[in-house]
């Protein structure tokens, strides 16, 4: 890729196994000749007063300017009064939709071989408001906040996504039979948006029933859109269907066209630095980032190489039952490019 | 069974397919010579001012006096201001714990053959408080209430249940990393109770991770205890693992030793009155009721007959892929008793 065509993207390698799997992405991108120039930012060792967290102001500015980034796992340092790094990123960058494509990996066998769905999670409000207090001793309450603006915004994104990706159906997941006002407002917004997309089938599914249907027959679902906590739960459930968080990509969409792709698994401190980590989730997240940039050729090549390597089964990391190092697995992917 | 030894139990046949599956339970109980005398109560056709719902005061009094009952599906009549019948029962009778044993049925094949767990759900508060309001136009909130008393009560029940049934482990399911105060209080109560049961392994699992683990390997779990909404979600997910709500029993435990067993599936109005309904969930709920009454012999005989009939596969209702009527399936069970 020639210097002048380079797209700048922010890279947060993150903690634990983060730097190793980020290294793997950088290597694969080099081999695939992806026109990306990384701007690396690490989590700070002290609280930055401008972000009130260990995330530096500069790193957030970098994402705001580049509008595109990739993030490894970040463990929030334990102790009082520290905002979670992941939540800080979502709030500060207004990352309003978390998008997780979830499909059965050819060649990696689980109980399910027909998963092909996308979960789209409202990422800024709901049960994550942070508003909680003690009413009297022994009685506490948490507030779940649903707004029309955030609900419309994520619903718009879901239908837009469905249409752009040739998807047939959007299911809004809710518990409006119990939370009539909050989830009711969420559904109302989804219905409003649905009317603008007559070509897409719209349905509403109660969350408990949705979870039952997902484990019985995930092929029933296509695009799912939902409030924050349900998205948290259902996206992990879906990841479980195809093998776990080590295999599932994720992208956070923010106001102003920001896309921050992220591996949502943990930082696995127990195996950090041992060259044992599986970079698949971060690689496939990077692929999602490329698609967001309309670099579909590169995205296809890398995705195919990753899936082929896993399917062949010769080089797999320990979490997938193999014995390969991160480096060996990454080299195998590069050989396929 | 001689007149004098009869135990009175309340029976709510419920709506839709309710009366047919209740008939099936009555027949099986007669054949198995179960010393139960049913006191039948139907949902009223008008609102009873004393219950503010279609449930009659007499029917609630009947459960309060008998302390034991069985309930078919009840659809809440659609219209404004009607309290859900199920929620009314939970509130009025203070049914604080919903207990659902969930095990793979020998002979009924799903993707999972090693499920054997119990979900215990707090059934009175949490996200089901009914407290919701509009803050300003376009901004609504719901309150989740967690109390020390209700959390201790359900935790006590869970550990008591685990010990009484020879279970090894209790997992408290939560999202205390986000709802530190509410779910934090719930966990605190579980920990307090756990200390009194050193022989039982206690662990805490975040709900999203729990769902992922459940679909990957349900055998990891034994007894799960959790706040209301998580219980709603996870108990349905678990039902899905073994085939659905048509196969899973449920019992609600109330203050003062009340046990109201219930089939938690819907009333299936489309097949009502056609002799097509599957009575398994209500039958197995009735079995749970018998166990609560320490009538283990009768419980074992009926449970064995139901499972054997399903396993043989000759007589199965349509939902399980068979062609039998409710009557044929019930007769086959009776033949096994
Ligand atoms: C780590 C945690 C705060 C986070 C969440 O609940 O959103 C995680 O589960 C996720 O899904 O990104
Ligand atoms: C019907 C509905 C109100 C109910 C609930 O949410 O509790 C149901 O899903 C259940 O689990 O019994």
Per-residue pLDDT tens over the stretch A155-164: 999 999 999 9
Q: How far apart are CA A40 and CA B326, in angstroms?
A: 66
Give A232 Cα–ligand 1 centroid separation in angstroms: 7
- Tell me which residues of chain B, numbers 259 to 318, contact chain A at a CB-CB cutoff of 8 Å: none
DSSP B68: E
| pLDDT, average across residues B170-188 | 97
Give A330 Cα–ligand 1 centroid separation in angstroms: 27
Whether A4 has a pLDDT exceeding 70, the answer reads no
The residues facing B205 across adjacent strands are: B173
Tell me: the pLDDT tens digits for B89-112? Answer: 998 999 999 999 999 998 899 999
Find which of B77, B102, B141 to mutate to test the A interface (most A CBs within 10 Å of its CB): B141
For B299, phi then psi, to 5°, come to -60, -45
Core vs surface per residue A189-208: b (16+ CB within 10 A) or e: bbeebbeebeebebebbbbb
**DSSP H or E run through B100:** strand B95-103
Q: Sorting pLDDT into bands at 50, 70 and 90, what band is B2?
A: low
| pLDDT, average across residues A146-154 | 98
Whether B80 has a pLDDT exceeding 70, the answer reads no
- For A78-92, A174-188, B221-235, B284-298, which range has the lowest pLDDT when averaged over its residues? A78-92
Cβ(A329)–Cβ(A321) under 8 Å? no
What is the DSSP pairing of strand A139-147 with strand B201-206?
unpaired
Cβ(A330)–Cβ(A24) under 8 Å? yes
pLDDT of residue A311: 94
Tell me: the pLDDT tens digits for A38-97? Answer: 999 998 888 888 888 889 999 999 999 999 999 999 987 665 556 788 888 998 999 999
pLDDT of residue B107: 83
Q: Sorting pLDDT into bands at 50, 70 and 90, what band is B204?
A: very high
DSSP B37: E
pLDDT of residue B47: 87
By most ligand atoms within 8 Å of CB, the mutation choice from B86, B98, B264 for ligand 2 is B86
Find which of A141, A235, A266 to mutate to test the B interface (most B CBs within 10 Å of its CB): A141
Q: Nearest CB to A138: which of B141, B147, B234?
A: B147
Whether residue B145 and residue A140 make contact (CB cut-off 8 A), yes or no, is: yes
Whether A30 has a pLDDT exceeding 80, the answer reads yes
pLDDT of residue A2: 54
Chain A's closest residue to B141, CA to CA, is A145
For A53, phi then psi, to 5°, come to -155, 180
Whether B320 has a pLDDT exceeding 70, the answer reads yes
Instruction: Give the number of the atom of ligand 2 that is nearest the alpha carbon of residue B90.
Output: 7
pLDDT of residue B52: 83
Whether A179 has a pLDDT exceeding 90, the answer reads yes
pLDDT of residue B223: 98
Task: Note whether B149 contacts A: Cβ–Cβ < 8 A.
Answer: yes
- Reading the block at residue A69, the tokens are 């980034």
- Residue B209 with chain A: CB contacts under 8 Å: 236
Q: How far apart are CA B13 and CA B26, in angstroms?
A: 10
Task: Note whether A217 contacts B: Cβ–Cβ < 8 A.
Answer: no
Average pLDDT, rounded, for chain B: 94
- Reading the block at residue B295, the tokens are 């009538």
């Amino acid at each position: 890729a020639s210097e002048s065509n380079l797209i700048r993207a922010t890279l947060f390698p993150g903690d634990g196994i983060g730097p190793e799997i980020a290294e793997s992405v950088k290597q694969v991108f080099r081999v695939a000749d992806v026109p990306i120039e990384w701007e690396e930012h690490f989590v700070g060792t002290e609280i930055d007063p401008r972000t009130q967290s260990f995330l530096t102001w500069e790193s957030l500015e970098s994402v705001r300017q580049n509008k595109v980034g990739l993030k490894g796992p970040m463990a929030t340092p334990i102790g009082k009064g520290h905002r979670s790094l992941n939540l800080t990123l979502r709030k500060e960058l207004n990352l309003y939709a978390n998008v997780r494509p979830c499909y059965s990996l050819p060649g990696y066998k689980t109980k399910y071989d027909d998963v092909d769905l996308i979960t789209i999670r409202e990422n800024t409000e709901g049960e994550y408001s942070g508003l909680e207090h003690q009413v009297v001793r022994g009685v506490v309450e948490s507030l779940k906040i649903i707004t029309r603006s955030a609900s419309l915004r994520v619903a718009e994104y879901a239908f837009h996504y469905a249409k752009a990706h040739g998807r047939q159906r959007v299911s809004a997941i809710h518990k409006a039979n119990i939370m009539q006002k909050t989830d009711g407002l969420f559904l109302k917004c989804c219905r409003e948006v649905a009317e603008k997309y007559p070509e897409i089938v719209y349905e509403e599914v109660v969350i408990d029933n949705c979870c039952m249907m997902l484990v019985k027959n995930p092929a029933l679902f296509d695009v799912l859109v939902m409030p924050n906590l349900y998205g948290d739960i259902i996206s992990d459930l879906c990841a479980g269907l195809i093998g776990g968080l080590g295999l599932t990509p994720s992208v956070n969409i923010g106001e102003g066209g920001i896309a921050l792709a992220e591996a949502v698994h943990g930082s696995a401190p127990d195996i950090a630095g041992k060259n044992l980590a599986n970079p698949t989730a971060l690689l496939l997240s990077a692929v999602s980032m490329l698609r967001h940039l309309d670099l579909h050729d590169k995205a296809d090549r890398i995705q195919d190489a990753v899936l082929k390597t896993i399917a062949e089964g010769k080089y797999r990391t320990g979490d997938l039952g193999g014995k390969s190092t991160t480096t060996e697995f990454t080299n195998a992917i590069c050989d396929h490019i």
